[in-house]
Amino acid sequence: MHDSEISAITLSLLMGFCSVALNLVPGVATAWIFSRCTFRGKALLETFVFLPLVIPPVVTGYFLIRIFNQQSLVGAILNRLDVQVVFTWTGMAVAGAVMSFALLVRTVRGVLDEINPRLEQAARSLGYSPLRTFFKVTLPLAWPGIVAGSVLCFARTLGEFGATVMISAGTAGNRTIPLEIFHHYQTPGHETEMMRLVVVSIAISSAALVVSEMLIARLGATRYRPHHGG
């Protein structure tokens, strides 16, 4: 395997893990708010969060460049702090995170919706504050779903192409597995390199899917089932 392929695999995995790390806490918090709270403008906020799932990734990438370039307010502040986003792997990690955030929120929200909120009321009546209830009841019941959501978030980031290519410009050393595959595809005589990465890509994604399915099955086994009668 060439250095550029190793670098692409490393970069992809790094992006995947960074994306999960960036998204986990805000994602679970957002999912909890969507599942448990009602407030004005909630539908609007939901639309905004789920937008990256439906709009073309290239468009999202374009907006990220507009937000993070040095002429913008955010870019100027980050520049002062010596943080470069556009055309760096930091920017690629941000792109991956933005593209997969909605998927994490959706998965975790689905799991939270399945947890009987009356269980949380029962915990409150036993002397637990809302925060303590979250950590002692909600989180333990939701964790397989949270891990499954994280796996999906990781896999989504791994497959991300459109927004990543916008923010990284696809230059050498700045290519993730999909970008590297596309690069080899365009280069005559690089079929072997391309095929190797295709196999690696399938292997990583399949592994992620298997882990996710196992965790969802486990959640099904521990989900609360009310019993009536003997």
Partner 1 sequence: MIDLDFQLQRGPFTLDVSLSSDSRVTGLIGPSGGGKTSLIMALIGILKPSRGSIGIRGQHEFFNSARGVNLPIEKRRLGVVFQENLLFPHLNVKENLLFGYKRTDPALRRLQPEEIFELLDLGTQLDRGVGNLSGGEQRRVAIGRALLTSPCLLLLDEPLTGLDVNLRDRILAYLLRLKKELSIPMIYASHSFNDISTVADSVALLTVETNEHNRKHSRVSRLGHPLDILSEAAKVVSIGSIETVIEGEIVSTNPLTGHSVVHSEGLEMYVSPDNKTPGSRCYVTIRADDIIISVGEPPKLSSLNVWAGTIKAFENFQNTVVVTIDVGHRIRAALTEESVRELGLAEGMKVHAIVKAKSLRTVVLGSKES
In one letter, which amino acid is 165? V
Residue position matching structure tokens 């890509």: 201
Nearer to partner 1, 48 or 224 (CB): 224
Does the protein bind partner 1 through residue 42 (CB under 8 A)?
Answer: no
84 Cβ contact list (under 8 Å, min separation 6): 78, 90, 91
User: Taking each helix axis from N to C terminus, what angle separates 3-36 and 89-114, rounded to the nearest 10 degrees?
Assistant: 40
Interaction pattern, residues 197-226, with partner 1; x per rule: CB under 8 A: -------------------------xxxxx
Among 84, 129, 171, 206, binds partner 1 (CB under 8 A): 129
Does the protein bind partner 1 through residue 38 (CB under 8 A)?
Answer: no
CA distance 154 to 159: 9
C-alpha to C-alpha distances, 208 to 19, 154, 156, nearest whole angstrom: 15, 8, 10
In one letter, which amino acid is 188? P
Does the protein bind partner 1 through residue 125 (CB under 8 A)?
Answer: yes
Interaction pattern, residues 131-170, with partner 1; x per rule: CB under 8 A: -x---xx--xx-----------------------------
Chain residues that interact with partner 1, rule: CB under 8 A? 116, 118-119, 121-129, 132, 136-137, 140-141, 222-230
